[in-house]
Structures are given as C-alpha cells and as structure tokens.
Amino acid sequence: MFDKCPGQSSRNIKVSIHICSYCGHEVEMFSDELRVKCPKCKQFIYKEKVPSCIEWCKAARECLGEERWQKMQEILKKGEKDESKRK
C-alpha cells in the first residue's frame, strides 16, 4: 500500500473541454476540478459525472488490490450499461 495516493500527483492532471450550458462558451476543466466558472457568463459549469480514480489512475489496481479492483471494474461497467439504457 501507499502512504500517499500516486494518482494525486499534479503530473497526472488532464484537461478537457466542456460547453457552458448557459452561453455555449468552451471552458477548460482539469481532471482535479469538479466545477469551474465560465469566463464569459460567470456561471458554474459542473462535470456530468465525477470520475473515480479507478477509471483513470494507473496505480488504482495496485492501490486497491487485484480482487477489489476487479469488483470495482464490474460495478463501473454495469453503471455504464445502465446509463446507456436511460439515453
């Protein structure tokens, strides 16, 4: 196990573009942010889904252990299937 999560390193931060639902402006959001304020209309933009470190962290398997990681992968896949059925 780790003293500190290796996924918390600022070297692993990624950026994504989100469209402001109020004004349509493109807004950058980093992977460690849950919300940002649109620079154009000043409204808060939220991520549609809060990411789990299990989905993006390269060390998640090692942190959780193989058995727990496999169970979490099954849960995430089931959630994705349920989400696609709702659309």
Structural contact between residues 31 and 16, judged by C-beta atoms closer than 8 angstroms: yes
Per residue in 33-59, pLDDT tens? Answer: 889 999 999 999 988 776 677 877 888
Residue-level pLDDT at 22: 95
Residue-level pLDDT at 20: 95
Residue-level pLDDT at 54: 80
- Distance (Å, whole) CA 77 – CA 54: 12
pTM above 0.85, yes or no: no
